Amino acid sequence: MLDTVIGPITRVVDGNSFQMRVTHIGRHNAYVYGNYETVYIAPNSVPNSTRLSAILVNRRVKCHVRYRDNYNRLFADVEFEH
- The confidence score (pLDDT) of residue 66 equals 93
CA–CA gap between residue 34 and residue 50 (Å, rounded): 26
User: Which range marks the domain in which residue 63 is found?
Assistant: 3-80
- For CA atoms 40, 46, 11, 81, the dihedral sign is negative
- The confidence score (pLDDT) of residue 39 equals 95
Number of domains present in the structure of the chain: 1
CATH code of residue 12 = 2.40.50
pLDDT in tens, 11-68: 988 878 899 999 999 999 999 999 999 999 866 555 555 556 667 889 999 999 999 9
pTM metric for this prediction: 0.85
